[in-house]
Structure 1
């Protein structure tokens, strides 16, 4: 049975309304979507990345682990690939046999004044020499209208950003998250793994094919490269990495170097994640001190923004991505997240505009 596009992708809104644990995702460069559906009520939760050793499922990890934001593992009780198979299953199943019940209220966006106060704290710490880099982020909230569909917005993201990891996931423990990411945290199979050192941002309308990156953006990415090298060496992992290259993510361009390495015992992937996350790309450097500074001074809880998520299966293939361009979906509003790397040479207006550009990436997928 065929369904009109605006009908079938709304099946996922029904799953959210029933608060069923599931993840819908599409890997970069792929055409097929994948659905991971949990049949039990509660997902597994963990308070340590090492707890992910020998685990399998769709994982959602926060920026900062806490009782309110644990690591969530959606169990792969049902795993389906391809639109036809997925929608045929949902149409016949009992998961989507209820009507949506959504309520709305007004929300306000984060103000420039609030961002400016945070920027001043961060920049002063950098100028004083306490850090090489800090990542300052913010939220932007809009009210939901009656036409909003998480499922249709996921479909829009798939069409708009073919080279990104696209995801829509829900669980009682994590809430509902939708987004797209150009940054691999770890990806691999059969012992062969990759990770990205991604940083630096330019608006694509401002650049040609031959991108000229300024010193600020190059230094920002170099800090991530050096961190990745150091962390892998701590685990006695020999790696190689590519020269920085420009990649496109919607209307933005970034600098990326890809690390490749081999791990004999991939079952200990949680230990590796503990070394790499969070990287200076979303945190700063030195990492521990930057992390503590952000928690104390950023002014809000990032929750799962700038954490990571993806499918974990070390016996077959694992694909985990940094949760960069995303929104948290509530019954009455949508909370969007964006951030950027701050260096001593940074300028307030330039950094604010960068967050605006990044917010537009996710705003542009919201269905109307």
Structure 2
């Protein structure tokens, strides 16, 4: 049995015992990390700024609510690297209780309904002060008897430039994803955040041309970040981009912003709370877009377009926006996929974009199911 197979088997055993854990690998790294904790040792802050002074792994929803809490896994067992993770004796871990909670209702809409919602969105943008809105939908795919551990390893192999994760939490459920979007990266003396928006299918020759619609869509996000910088008196800062970022089956426009970490020495939680949700997952202006989303989307986003990642582990913070993700139920993989709608959007193209974005996860599922 290879190390990859051994790690997949270990993850399956953790799930069989319903252990609370997060396993992840950072973009550009083939080194997985894992954090396990007892259910009693997890905390559910009402606001992100309550995390000041804490450390662990954060899993946050789109909006914090009683049935969708912000979760922090405290470091019970923390291991980095395949060899170290395989040293965990799962047989010594206690079987965890299944949380008593109402199963979320996943509302699946058909193509015609999605196209109508996009048409309504475009019309609203054309006649109001809205500039951009993210409209998402759910895509179900039936589960078989495949190993979720093997699926995670397949996803990790396919998307090396994404944050690839698997989490199992009593109050949030079972989630897996491969997200390319940095919300905040803090290491040493520098903090980085990213403006990422605009999507097209990945090209084999990496020769991309970007249209006005995608350029404008990404510019909304960059403008918003600068507004947040102004509120927190962040200057000077450096930028890199816009440039193309390839991830899975698609490519995006990305600009990176970097500034001195001392600017947020005691306000990192407040900064993230103000930053999220960015126009990349909500729209612009943010408050108007958020209200519109609550009316146009029939489903609950739950942890889709929230954020996740290690918080002050090894003296660093690596938070990622929860895109290219799916919630795993006993019967289905429920994929969440959306697109940025502007006045230049074409409804049929937006439908295809949601399919392309879901392709990152679907290709991994299909590869494992065919074995």
Q: Which residue of 2 aligns with 1:217?
A: 214
Structure 2 Cα separation of the partners of residues 275 and 191 of structure 1 = 21
Match of 1:343 in 2: 342
Structure 1 residue 10: deviation in Å? 2.9
Task: Give SS of 2:364's match.
Answer: coil
Give the structure-2-normalised TM-score: 0.91
SS of residue paired to 1:89: coil
Q: Determine if the alignment matches structure 1 residue 247 to structure 2 residue 240.
A: no
Moved more, 349-358 or 31-40: 31-40
Specify the SS of the correspondent of 2:241: coil
Which of 228, 245, 259 is the equivalent residue of 2:225? Answer: 228
Unmatched 5+ stretches in structure 2? 97-105
Aligned mates of 2:313, 2:12 — CA distance in 1: 30
**What is aligned with 1:103?**
none
Matched residue, 1:202? 200
1:142 aligns with 2:138: no
Shift of 1:150: 2.1
Q: Report the secondary structure of 1:312's partner residue.
A: strand
1:39 Cα offset (Å): 2.8
Using the size of structure 1 for normalisation, the TM-score is: 0.92
CA distance in 2, matches of 1:272, 1:80: 29
SS at match of 1:243: strand
Matching residue of 2:112: 113
Partners of 2:331 and 2:206 in 1: how far apart? Answer: 41
CA shift in 2, pair 1:267/1:151, >3 Å = farther
1:181-219 superposed Cα distances (whole Å, 9 cap, x missing partner):
1110001123410011000101024x7433110000000
CA contact (8 A) 1:43 1:171 kept: no
User: Which residue is equivalent to 2:268?
Assistant: 269
Kindly indicate whether the alpha-carbon contact (under 8 Å) linking 1:150 and 1:168 is maintained by their aligned counterparts in 2: no
**Residue 294 (str. 1) matches residue 293 (str. 2):** yes
**Would the aligned equivalents of 2:13 and 2:90 in 1 still touch at CA under 8 Å?**
no
CA contact (8 A) 2:7 2:82 kept: no
Alignment partner of 1:73 is 2:55 = no
Distance 1:315 1:166 in 2: 19
Equivalence map 1:10-21=2 (5 Å): 10-21=9-20
Q: CA deviation at 1:119?
A: 1.4
Q: How does 1:90-109 map to 2 (within 5 A)?
A: 90=89, 93-94=92-93
Give the CA deviation at 1:13.
Answer: 2.5
Measured after TM superposition, the shift of residue 323 of structure 1 is: 0.4
Pairing 1:237–2:234 present: yes
Aligned to 2:100: none
Q: Summarize deviations over 1:15-39 as a string: whole Å, max 9, x none.
A: 2233221100001111210001103
User: 1:22·1:37 contact (CA, 8 Å) conserved in 2?
Assistant: yes
Whether contact under 8 Å (1:10, 1:150) holds in the other structure is no
Is the 2:305–2:321 contact (alpha carbons within 8 Å) kept by the matching residues of 1?
yes
Distance 1:243 1:332 in 2: 42
Q: Report the Cα distance in structure 2 between the residues aligned to 1:289 and 1:10, rounded to whole angstroms.
A: 46
Find 2:178's aligned residue among 177, 180, 194: 180
Contact 1:15-1:95 within 8 A present in 2 as well: no
Q: After TM superposition, where is structure 1 displaced by more than 6 Å over at least 4 residues in a row?
A: none
Q: Which moved more, 1:167-176 or 1:17-26?
A: 17-26
Structure 1 Cα separation of the partners of residues 3 and 24 of structure 2: 20
Tell me, which stretches of 5 or more residues in structure 1 are unaligned?
A: 98-106
In the other structure, the counterpart of 1:313 is: 312
Distance verdict in 2 for CA 1:176–1:78, change over 3 Å: same
Deviation digits for residues 254-302 of structure 1 (CA, Å, limit 9, x no counterpart): 1000000113243432101112100000000000111121122211110
Pick which of 64-73 and 39-48 moved more.
Answer: 39-48
Q: 2:68, 2:143 → 1: CA distance?
A: 24
Match of 2:155 among 154, 157, 165: 157
Corresponding residue pairs, total: 357
Rounded to whole Å, the distance in 1 between the matches of 2:68 and 2:91 is: 34
Describe the shift of the 1:146–1:92 C-alpha distance in structure 2 as closer, same or farther (beyond 3 A): closer
Matches of 2:135 and 2:314, distance apart in 1: 37
3-state SS of 1:173 partner: coil
